Structure 1
Amino acid sequence: MLALDVLAVLSAACWVVLALGRNLFWLPRPRLPRPGPEPPPGRWPALAVVVPARDEAALLPTTLPTLLHQDYPGRAVVVVVDDGSTDGTAEVARQLAAPPPPPDREPQDKERLACVVVRAGDRPAGWAGKVWALAEGAAQVPWATWLLFTDADIQHPPGSLRALVGLGESRGLDQVSVMARLEATGWSGRLLVPAFVYFFAMLYPFRTVTGRSVRRAAAAGGCLLVRRARLEAAGGLASVAGAVIDDVGLAKALARAGGRLWLGYDRGIRSVRPYPRLADLWAMVRRSAYAQLRWSPAALAGTVLAMALVFLVAPVAVVVGLLLPDTPAAVAGGLAWVIATLTFLPLVLEEGVAWPWALGLPLAAFLYLGMTLDSARQHRRGGPQWKGRALPGPAAPQRPPHAANDRPGR
């Protein structure tokens, strides 16, 4: 059992390093400051909110009104981009965008943001559907100083736009991104949703996403505010035209162009997309897991070995060590499991999940490892699909002439 003893000790050593290093990635994320009574210095800049929507008719009635009723004091518009939907997404968006009839006796509701609904043009070869929809939306609003890219399933609390732009203006940032709170329902959601955030934070510690470091650059695509001038300096959305993980790619492009970044969290910015079954979460992660490894078999093999050592050795060492018995393996494995659980616990509680689920981190890692392997298998069989559409692979995209600065080429 010497081999198991050595592996258990290595696993425990890895967890000591992870817990004390990686900028304490496991602590709660930086919070989005709420706007104060006074606006940031100077005039409120012009803002355009771009919402790519593909077959989102069921969710828009819940999410789009939370944008339309924002109290942003500057010029602002919401642009919903229908990305080839077949379920009447555009019609639903237009109905929601239409102002309600005036009431007979009650005072008028406060002014709503303007909203336009456009249909994305034919997608050029090599472009990911979402990125092209964002480019089409951004091309409609060349006057906007700030662009907020937010998914159709994201619900925004009152004051969200003021808080996002206010933070960007007051700190001189070029990116303000917020990881939305995901729905954690069912056993799979309670186990895997906090783990999703945990693994993301392990790869991209939130507190390191500051300044202009390309290596530390990251973003969460569900809520991503960018300064347009810096986006154009970075090559526009064409710089991530074919990216499956477009949010992190865009953050790195902004950082290379000298942009200052911020990544944090706000409890009120949340996704309303349900993931009631393990299969739903599995499909979401499988779509991009192998792309995260740059479609590299060597990186995949290294990831499998690393995750097995860090996450899976500990429970195996505890069980085998208690049954044989093998005290060194049980003690080292138990220490690794305890440290892992304690680092996972803050995010579990922050996501509103009961604390015993923190003990399940090894199982969550095992499932995510399966999703990653399945993502590689799917890639070898023709590439990932999302909402009935193939996603680009590692080949370089073909860019239309106007894509460099995202301005209309019509």
Structure 2
Amino acid sequence: MSTIAWIALASVVAWGWLLLGRGFYWRTDQRLPEAAEEAVEADRWPSVAVVVPARDAAELLPRTLPSLLTQDYSGRLAVFLVDDGSTDGTGALARELAARHGGRRVTVSSPGAPAPGWTGKLWAVRHGIALARSAREGGPEYLLLTDADIAHEPDSVRRLVAAASAGRLDLVSQMARLRTAGGWERRIVPAFVYFFAMLYPFRWVNRAGARTAAAAGGCVLLRTATAVRAGVPEAYRQAVIDDVSLARAVRRAGGRLWLGLADRVDSVRPYPGLADLWSMVARCAYAQLWHHPLVLVAAVAGLGLVFLAPPAAVAAGLLAGDAAAGALGAAAWAAMAASYAPMLRYYRQSLWQAPALPVTAALYLCMTVDSAVRHYRGRGAQWKGRTYPRPDAGPAGRRAEAAAPEHPA
């Protein structure tokens, strides 16, 4: 066989392992159970404090904050919105919305500039948790950490708490359904979630005693006692990928995790152009690889073998008459497209996009390389007008690095 045929054969083998040996990551059936509410007595719903870090979110709050204030939840529910140095009137708008919708106690506060060694979001989360635990009626039994761009259906909190109670879980996290209104969003977003599931197979995360730990930062229900035991968020205060680091801290403290796809939790943040999506991925892609150049090389080679080699082999078969390369490349390409189809169905996208996954994978490869370039130029962790220092810049950074995922690629 030719060299390209041997590479295509390696790709086929790789896809066989990915489909069968990586926790069936490509399936989309990890969802909150429907009947879990029976696990909670009708008059004993635990108290929940919702902590919302918000920075320049005035455009989004009218769609998201009311969804928290109108939750159909029988237990005590309080909302703590922490204005992380916004310049667009986020705090004032939050107070206005709270007064307009009523029904729930809302505290709007600002912690000021982040202390050295802290990212802005985690500094805001720390402030919100402290406010929640010092509440007059006693600290909450659960903390719901949710972003300012996340909209919840009215039964969202109830279903999260019921799932945690039924499964005796310490952390329940849902990957919010991201927006796919624009052309680039339809191309990039389903693949983003697909690659995240490949990196952190949900079944592995949800298995008791497993090493793999991950969460989706837009929607995390956390048992307060476990948060205290795990040192949240001090244990990972400089982490760029804070949701995964949170899950790692909880797992190290002996907590049980659950991560799945959301049906009733949505992100309303728009990503209208490729540049917006590129920045979203590039700011943390290299952190997923432990900021290690050799891991970057391995990741690029792996992406090339798994996603780019199959169409190249098919092209060799058609253009150079290499029948073996063409057949093996087609087999690997078919496996790739089949694995992507469930995620496209979840996002209500055409299945005709599945064969185009190699194009999207090539974009992600470029984003990952760009993430490394930004890191070494000191611009790696840029978000909402802030640039954070490299995570190896001090003791806090080394702790954040220690909290990085165990399976980088």
- When normalised by structure 2's length, the TM-score is 0.92
- 8 Å CA contact retained: 2:39, 2:165: no
Secondary structure at the residue paired with 2:365? helix
Q: CA, structure 1 residues 398+217, in 2 after alignment: closer, same or farther (shift >3 Å)?
A: closer
Deviation at 1:211?
4.5
Matched with 1:371 is 367
- 8 Å CA contact retained: 2:48, 2:141: yes
Give the counterpart letter for 2:59 in structure 1: A
Matched with 1:59 is 60
Secondary structure at the residue paired with 2:107? strand
CA deviation vs aligned residue, 1:347-392 (integer Å, no higher than 9, x gap): 0111111110111111111000100000000011113211110124
For structure 1, which segment, 310-319 or 377-386, has the greater mean C-alpha deviation from structure 2 after superposition?
A: 377-386
Matched with 1:397 is 396
Q: Distance in 1 between matches of 2:37 and 2:242?
A: 35
The structure 2 residue matched to 1:386, chosen from 383, 386, 401, is 383
Matched with 2:113 is 122
Deviation at 1:126?
1.2
Q: Distance in 1 between matches of 2:189 and 2:74?
A: 35
Deviation at 1:236?
2.0
Matched with 1:3 is 3
Q: CA, structure 1 residues 200+120, in 2 after alignment: closer, same or farther (shift >3 Å)?
A: same
- 8 Å CA contact retained: 2:30, 2:261: yes
Structure 2 segments unaligned to the other structure (5+ residues)? 134-138, 399-409
Matched with 2:69 is 68
The structure 2 residue matched to 1:277, chosen from 273, 280, 290, is 273
Secondary structure at the residue paired with 1:80? strand
Give the counterpart letter for 1:78 in structure 2: V
The structure 1 residue matched to 2:195, chosen from 191, 196, 199, is 199
Q: Distance in 2 between matches of 1:9 and 1:188?
A: 32
Q: How does 1:143-222 map to 2 (within 5 A)?
A: 143-213=139-209, 215-222=211-218
Q: Distance in 1 between matches of 2:282 and 2:301?
A: 19
Give the counterpart letter for 2:142 in structure 1: W
Number of residue pairs matched by the alignment: 389
Q: Distance in 2 between matches of 1:303 and 1:23?
A: 19
For structure 1, which segment, 13-22 or 364-373, has the greater mean C-alpha deviation from structure 2 after superposition?
A: 13-22
For structure 1, which segment, 385-394 or 196-205, has the greater mean C-alpha deviation from structure 2 after superposition?
A: 385-394
CA deviation vs aligned residue, 1:313-341 (integer Å, no higher than 9, x gap): 00011012101111001000000000000
Secondary structure at the residue paired with 2:329? helix
- CA-atom RMSD in angstroms: 1.7
- Identity between Structure 1 and Structure 2 (%): 50
Q: Distance in 2 between matches of 1:37 and 1:51?
A: 25
- 8 Å CA contact retained: 2:79, 2:107: yes
1:87 equivalent in alignment to 2:88: yes
Give the counterpart letter for 2:26 in structure 1: W
Q: Distance in 2 between matches of 1:58 and 1:213?
A: 41
- 8 Å CA contact retained: 2:37, 2:163: no
Deviation at 1:207?
1.4
Q: Distance in 1 between matches of 2:29 and 2:295?
A: 28
- 8 Å CA contact retained: 1:127, 1:392: no
- 8 Å CA contact retained: 1:55, 1:85: yes
Secondary structure at the residue paired with 2:265? strand
Deviation at 1:222?
0.5
CA deviation vs aligned residue, 1:76-103 (integer Å, no higher than 9, x gap): 1011000000000001101001145xxx
- 8 Å CA contact retained: 1:212, 1:260: yes
Deviation at 1:393?
2.1
Structure 1 segments unaligned to the other structure (5+ residues)? 101-110, 400-410
Give the counterpart letter for 2:15 in structure 1: W
- 8 Å CA contact retained: 1:48, 1:77: yes
Secondary structure at the residue paired with 1:72? coil
Q: Distance in 2 between matches of 1:213 and 1:195?
A: 28
- 8 Å CA contact retained: 1:29, 1:206: no
Runs (4 or more) in structure 1 with deviation over 6 Å come to: none
Q: Distance in 2 between matches of 1:379 and 1:398?
A: 14
Deviation at 1:209?
1.4
Matched with 1:103 is none
Q: How does 1:289-300 map to 2 (within 5 A)?
A: 289-300=285-296
Secondary structure at the residue paired with 1:98? helix
